[in-house]
Amino acid sequence: MTNPHWRRRDAVLMSDRPPEAEQRLLTTLGDPVLARLYAARGVTDPAELSLRLGDLLPAASLTGLDQAIQTMDEAIDAQQAILIIGDFDADGATSTALMMLALREMGARVDYLVPDRFRYGYGLTPEIVQLALTEYSPSLIVTVDNGISSHAGVALAQQQGIRVLITDHHLTSKAVPPAEAVVNPNQPDCQFASKALCGVGVAFYVLAALSSLRRAAGKSHTPLVQWLDLVAVGTVADVGVLDHNNRILVANGLQRLRQGRCRPGFLALLEGAGRNPSQLTAQDLGFVLGPRINAAGRMDTMRIGIDCLLAPTLEAARPFAEQLEALNRERRRVESDMKQSALAMLEARRAFEKNTLKTMALDKSDLQTCTLETSTLDTSTLEKSTPEEHWPQRGIVLADRDWHQGVIGIIAGRLKEQYHRPSVVFAPADDSATLYKGSARSIAGIHIRDVIEQVALRYPETILHFGGHAMAAGLSIVPEQLEAFQRAFEEVLQEADERHFQPMLFTDGALSADQISLSLAERLSQAGPWGNGFPPPVFEGEFDIVSEKILKDKHSRFQLRPAEGGEWLEAIAFNQLLPPGNTSTRLRMVYQLDINEFRGQRRLQLQIVAMEPV
């Protein structure tokens, strides 16, 4: 019997899709495996598989678009100083670079400013407006990937005679700031059909509409398709949901990257990472390019990342790429130390709770008040936690006075993955530690921004500021409110459906022995783009073990044969070993079809996601 935590994806969606959907896809594609995969991801019409740019949603339904492009058009014609205010992640960096490149080609006087996350925080704050006034003297401020909650910053800019245009994609439940124009598909009453655009996607739509306006008027303009590589990287790195519209943007940007028709900065980063552009997948944008760009904003200043993307030649981009590579190595080191500290903290708390329950029989609610900071815990004798262990609370909230603010989002994501719990990680905003900045990551079914908003509504004193979207959010608190926030966070999560907190691995069912082939692996690699909301295919099945080898004491390499018979196959399981003393010669496993390239040879390799002896 299959592991109860493994479920077929198509069975989950069966009630939501027409029964004839898969047959229509099969008729169009002639490929039963692809038809099954697409249907299981909610595709009901073959037209949804078209990735032509002409199938993008029209821009006209974006609220505020007409006023936005009119404002920018006037600023360009009058040669007014335009200042782009970006964000310090990959979405913000690609958005900023896209605005700079396109506006320059349309003849604008334009510069950019990205807040130092360690000094100014996120968004168009009054402090950022004051900095802009002092150093740039703009007539028009354009925000990218931020601004939807920046009421105070907009007000100060307007008091100083600066017009403000907001482009953003983050959620808000409040009235938007009274800027010159606000373009955000997630603002109230916006009728744009896709709410999944990331900041760079919104910037792309605005600039494309502006270029069309100027072309019609006989003014300088530019084709935006030449920068779809920026849109693709920003969207995937920001874990944007790959609905049909975003898949079109990512697929076309990925094609430019594979062909080398992209920003020299991306080529320099791939060169440093030892990756061949022609073999990139959509996932590589998030796991290879995204982290290197993000490292600038996490460890230093995002100007390094943006200047890398703006570099006009490969030679000019290489020094920036080398800096980003070094910063990414430093980020990995800091992340490793922080993760071990966080895991030790959780184990200390678990041990404390177990011991307290044994000796004092306290009510579980009393345990919520135990300290959440490693500086007060002795973790020297505790073992690291293991991924399969159950965390008793619905959420995880951790903080440490010595943690690096730029890496807390990664740690929250790691904890979320390991324990399958919404996780919030805090670090001091500055050396004084009088303010904590937090980063939250969530699991499917739990809208983390809404959870934090509920905490703020019920206990207004616990949170100073917050913002974000379904799977990620940021917030600020004072350290004295840490335990109160944790209790309130747990209270809200206790009201959610219990099923969301049960880890579940969705698969695409089994493949027959003759379907498991290099040919299918190659078709799947071209069939995406796969990513958030359109997950890469994973299959399940039983295999006989022909041979097994342990690599570096933590990885497993196998030669396997399908249980039904057939040729033996290569397989690898990263960070997974069979139980000690295992004598079974058969595996039940979940796997992906991968292509192993070595010395010009391409061979099929199964990449094992999860396994258990039969």
Domain check: are 581 and 598 in the same one?
A: yes
CATH number, domain of 85, equals 3.90.1640.30
Q: What is the DSSP string of 508-530?
A: -----TTT-SHHHHHHHHHH---
Domain check: are 467 and 575 in the same one?
A: no
455 in a structural domain: yes
- Establish how many alpha carbons lie within 13 A of residue 568's alpha carbon, considering only the half-sphere containing its beta carbon: 9
341 in a structural domain: no
467 in a structural domain: yes
295 in a structural domain: no
pLDDT score recorded for residue 375: 39
Q: Nearest-CA neighbor of 543 among 501, 503, 590?
A: 590
Domain check: are 514 and 490 in the same one?
A: no
CATH number, domain of 476, equals 3.10.310.30
**What is the Cα–Cα distance from 234 to 239, expressed in whole angstroms?**
9
Domain check: are 476 and 516 in the same one?
A: no
**What is the Cα–Cα distance from 195 to 120, expressed in whole angstroms?**
28
Domain check: are 496 and 511 in the same one?
A: no
Number of domains comprising the chain = 3
**The pair of three-digit structure tokens given for residue 38, joined into one six-digit string:** 């697409």
pLDDT score recorded for residue 356: 60
Domain check: are 490 and 566 in the same one?
A: no
Cα 35–Cα 36–Cα 37 angle in degrees, nearest 5? 95
Residues of the chain with pLDDT under 50: 1, 14-15, 357-388
- Mapped onto helix, strand or coil, the DSSP state of residue 336 is helix
Q: Choose one of 486, 501, 516: the last residue of a domain.
A: 501
Domain check: are 151 and 187 in the same one?
A: yes
Domain check: are 209 and 65 in the same one?
A: yes
**The pair of three-digit structure tokens given for residue 72, joined into one six-digit string:** 């920018």
549 in a structural domain: yes
11 in a structural domain: no
pLDDT score recorded for residue 378: 35
Domain check: are 473 and 510 in the same one?
A: no
Domain check: are 531 and 546 in the same one?
A: yes
Contact 53/227 with Cβ under 8 angstroms? no
Q: In terms of residue numbers, what domain contains 542?
A: 505-613
Domain check: are 571 and 427 in the same one?
A: no
Domain check: are 465 and 516 in the same one?
A: no
Q: Choose one of 454, 484, 501: the last residue of a domain.
A: 501
559 in a structural domain: yes
CATH number, domain of 601, equals 2.40.50.460
The CA-based dihedral angle spanning residues 178, 184, 187, 189, taken in that order and rounded to the nearest 10 degrees: 100
H or E, element range at 303: helix 303-310
Q: Choose one of 190, 221, 252: the last residue of a domain.
A: 221
